[in-house]
Amino acid sequence: MVYTPRSARHGALLVGTVAVLGLLTACGNGTDGHGSPPASVSGTAGPAQEDSKSPASDTASASAGAPSSSAPGTTVSAGGATSATTTPAASSRCHTSELRASVGRNDPGAGQENFPVVLTNRSARTCTLHGYPGAAFVDASGSQLGPDPTREPGSPVTVTLKPGKSAWAGLTFSNPGISGAKTATPAALLVTPPDEHDSLKAAWSGGEVPVSGSSSAVRLTVLGPGTAP
């Protein structure tokens, strides 16, 4: 038996421990036997900021991109009550076949002739009107007299009409006797409800109207609830 000094045995033990630690380190750092780095999987990563967005910010972004037609408006019932609402759905709109048109009494003032153009719901359902009607003076043969009326600036509201209820728009022009415009006497006023293509005929008994000249403009206001101012 060969005696090994204590210092030599201690040195051999230390060398063995270092070797074992080295082997464990090589296994834990993810390298293979040739020292190559870990493999990567190809793909597309989304932007980091998308992960940090809250549901509230997503909703705000969607609202900012929403069409303007969905912005809130005002609803006015025939009784005068108002409430905030979005633009009415097409299915709730009053169609030409559900309405009756008429022209109210003249309310002249300051050299102006002012007539209410009235649309009345003659159907059995509640429907809505929003914006400006169309209008045109015609003679007995149906030929148009003068240009289409222009629109007075205004804020359109949604008027809800129960059966039998009405909405009106103001039709205004300068008195031809004062303005000197060329005139004609219509037989009727054709009225087209908002967003409709077919017209209604309302008898005209308001006398001469301007049809040409520098002061021949006829103007229409937005629809409001009721039958007159």
The position carrying tokens 């103001």 is 170
Q: Could you tell me which residue, 213 or 71, shows the higher pLDDT?
A: 213
Contacts of 119 (CB under 8 A, 6+ apart): 94, 99, 100, 101, 129, 133, 161, 166, 167, 168, 191, 193, 200, 223
pLDDT in tens, 158-188: 999 999 999 999 999 999 989 999 999 999 9
pLDDT in tens, 18-28: 444 444 444 44
Q: Which pLDDT belongs to residue 79?
A: 53
Q: Which pLDDT belongs to residue 227?
A: 95
pTM: 0.63
Q: Which pLDDT belongs to residue 160?
A: 97
Q: Which pLDDT belongs to residue 88?
A: 54
Beta strands in 175-228 (DSSP E): 182-184, 188-192, 200-203, 209-212, 218-220, 224-225
For domain 75-80+93-225, say whether CATH 2.60.40 is its number: yes
90 confidence band (pLDDT: 50, 70, 90): low
Torsion of CA 99, 95, 165, 221, to 10 degrees: -90
- DSSP reduced 3-state for 156: coil
Q: Could you tell me which residue, 78 or 154, shows the higher pLDDT?
A: 154
- DSSP reduced 3-state for 21: helix
- DSSP reduced 3-state for 12: helix
Q: Which pLDDT belongs to residue 186?
A: 97
User: Which of 47-51, 130-134, 182-186 is predicted least confidently?
Assistant: 47-51
CA angle at 124 for the pair 120 and 127, rounded to the nearest 5°: 60
Q: Which pLDDT belongs to residue 214?
A: 78
> Does residue 50 register a pLDDT over 80?
no
Provide the terminal-to-terminal Cα distance of the chain, rounded to the nearest Å: 128
Contacts of 187 (CB under 8 A, 6+ apart): 138, 139, 140, 203, 204
Per the structure block, which two tokens stand in for 58?
């997503």
CB 147 within 8 A of CB 130: no
Q: Which pLDDT belongs to residue 65?
A: 36
H-state helical runs in 76-158: none
229 confidence band (pLDDT: 50, 70, 90): confident
Distance between CA 144 and CA 59 in Å, rounded?
51
Q: What is the mean pLDDT of the chain?
A: 75
**151 bridge partner residues:** 220
Mean pLDDT computed over 93-111: 96
CA count, 13 A, side-chain hemisphere, 124 = 0
Mean pLDDT computed over 115-128: 98
Q: What is the largest CA-CA distance in the chain?
A: 144
Mean pLDDT computed over 193-198: 97
> Does residue 87 register a pLDDT over 80?
no
